[in-house]
Amino acid sequence: MTPQQIELVKATVPVLRENGVALTSYFYNRMLGNNPDLKETFNMGHQRSGAQAQALAGAVLAYAENIEDPSVLLPVVELIAHKHVSLNIKAPDYSIVGENLLHSISEVLNISMDDPLIEAWAAAYGQLADLFIATEKAIYDQHEQTKGSWLGWRNFKIAKKVVESDEITSFYLAPVDGGPLPKYEAGQYISVRVFIPELNLRQPRQYTLSTCPQADYLRISVKREDQKGDMVPGWVSNTLHSLPEGSEIEVSAPTGNFYLIDPNKRNVFISGGVGLTPMVAMLNQLVTLDMPQPVTFIHACRSKQVHAMKQHIHELKAKYPRLHTVTAYEFPHASDKLGEDYDFAGRLDLSIIDRALLPENADYYLCGPMPFMAAQHKALVARGIPAENIHSEAFGTGGVRH
């Protein structure tokens, strides 16, 4: 990009702050109208709620604000690149996005496609697209080199369903072709694609693999969503719950950059609700290594009725004295037993947890809803835990990753 183009892009920052969501909403309507096949790639629930337009507006603004040094955005680029790979997004797709984005800027701002601002944003978008394409190529190459992995979508059948709580069910997924499965990092995820009758479309969603690598199945643990007022419940999550054993779905290969970094280090897992799924996967990986270091497993949920995998954790704790657990029930039922089912009533408060369970030299893994994550991160920093030791993954409804 030329210095003049950089200045032109920077000059659009105030406009993006004020009207970014209007621009990205227009862009999505334009692109999906011109390319309806892409509706099976994008989350139409987030399209209807406006969440996707808001997220893109924030991303475009961040890019414009850092146009002189886009390298500061590399961690975010890597995060998004893994999701793009899980959705089988390829280099030609960036041309479609770019064309519609530039025309949207032209049409929303009522300027000619020959305007220098459009030329500047074309250069900016090309620079960003090249960054994503290169990052994603490295991930695709890794899949091609990993035994048992695959590119694109692969048919799996629901071999078994196991009810884990009143809301969460585990799905054991076996490849229809009977071929091998890859070894993946505990904490990574897959994309699942199913047909949604209400939309007359296939829709993808990302779900964490809820156990460490197994020879003949992948496992996800999905929360069923109830209708809340006019809010549309999770289309994919609820469709999965309705499918019987033996049903076939489409699955992408395991990917993602949130996973257990060092099994030989002290590790602390802190989860809220269905956010415990990557934590159970990481814990199960440590079990395969005979739990080399003490582990703290902290979980918060509403009550025993929605406490998934409680028995599994209880059995591991009985077998491994190095495993220390803390459970908080926000709304314990009268039948829930303090000291047996849970340790604290109310919201999780790390300030009252024994300091020995939260060592400064440990790696910390957080997963759950955004407000939960923010509260726990703040509490850990207040207790002297270095921010660089805190790793987080945000979940939305149904265990869907953001």
Has 136 been annotated as catalytic? yes
User: What string of DSSP letters covers 333-367?
Assistant: -TTSPBTTTBSEESS--GGGS-GGGS-TTSEEEEE
pLDDT at residue 52, as a whole number: 85
pLDDT at residue 98, as a whole number: 95
Active-site entry in 26, 63, 136, 207: 136
Name which of 137, 362, 164, 146 is nearest 273 in CA terms. Answer: 164
d(CA 229, CA 232): 8
pLDDT band at 71 (very low <50, low <70, confident <90, very high): confident
pLDDT at residue 395, as a whole number: 59
Mean pLDDT (whole number) for 355-365: 96
pLDDT at residue 278, as a whole number: 96
Distance of CA 124 to the CA centre of its chain: 27
Mean pLDDT (whole number) for 119-126: 94
d(CA 218, CA 158): 10
| pLDDT(231) > 70 | no
| pLDDT(348) > 50 | yes
pLDDT at residue 43, as a whole number: 87
Handedness of CA 333, 268, 384, 387 (dihedral sign): negative
Residue 261: exposed, middle, or buried by beta-carbon count in 10 A (0-12, 13-18, 19+)? middle
pLDDT band at 227 (very low <50, low <70, confident <90, very high): low
For residue 172, give every residue at least 6 positions away whose Cβ sits within 8 Å of its Cβ, in sequence order, or none: 158, 159, 160, 161, 162, 217, 218, 219
Count of positions (residues) in the chain: 402
| pLDDT(240) > 90 | yes
Q: What is the CA radius of gyration of the chain?
A: 22
Q: What is the residue type of 319?
A: K
With contact defined as beta carbons under 8 Å apart, do 394 and 369 qualify? yes
Average pLDDT of the chain, as a whole number: 93
| Angle formed at CA 148 by CA 274 and CA 239, multiple of 5 degrees | 35
pLDDT band at 226 (very low <50, low <70, confident <90, very high): confident
Element (H, E) at 24: helix 13-34
Structural domains in the chain, sorted by start = 3-145 (1.10.490.10), 154-251 (2.40.30.10), 267-399 (3.40.50.80)
| pLDDT(232) > 70 | no
| pLDDT(230) > 80 | no
Distance of CA 216 to the CA centre of its chain: 24
Task: Name beta bridge partners: 268.
Answer: 296, 364
- 316 vs 401, higher pLDDT: 316
Mean pLDDT (whole number) for 357-372: 95
d(CA 71, CA 84): 19
The tens digit of pLDDT for each residue in 139-188 reads 999 999 999 999 999 999 999 999 999 999 999 999 999 999 999 999 99
For residue 357, give every residue at least 6 positions away whose Cβ sits within 8 Å of its Cβ, in sequence order, or none: 268, 296, 298, 324, 326
d(CA 112, CA 115): 5
* Strand, coil or helix: 192: strand
Element (H, E) at 53: helix 51-65
* Pairing mode of beta strands 248-251, 154-163: antiparallel
d(CA 347, CA 302): 9
Sheet order of strands, 323-329 included: 344-345, 323-329, 295-301, 267-272, 363-368, 390-394
pLDDT band at 48 (very low <50, low <70, confident <90, very high): confident
Mean pLDDT (whole number) for 307-324: 96
pLDDT band at 401 (very low <50, low <70, confident <90, very high): low
pLDDT at residue 51, as a whole number: 82
Among 40-54, 191-205, 320-334, 386-400, the least confident range: 386-400
Kindly state the DSSP code that residue 400 receives in the 8-state scheme. B
Kindly state the DSSP code that residue 148 receives in the 8-state scheme. T
Has 94 been annotated as catalytic? yes
| pLDDT(397) > 70 | no
| pLDDT(402) > 50 | no
pLDDT band at 50 (very low <50, low <70, confident <90, very high): confident
Tell me the backbone φ, ψ of residue 364, rounded to 5 degrees: -115, 135
- 49 vs 53, higher pLDDT: 53
Active-site entry in 63, 94, 125, 140: 94
d(CA 80, CA 99): 20
pTM, 2 dp: 0.91
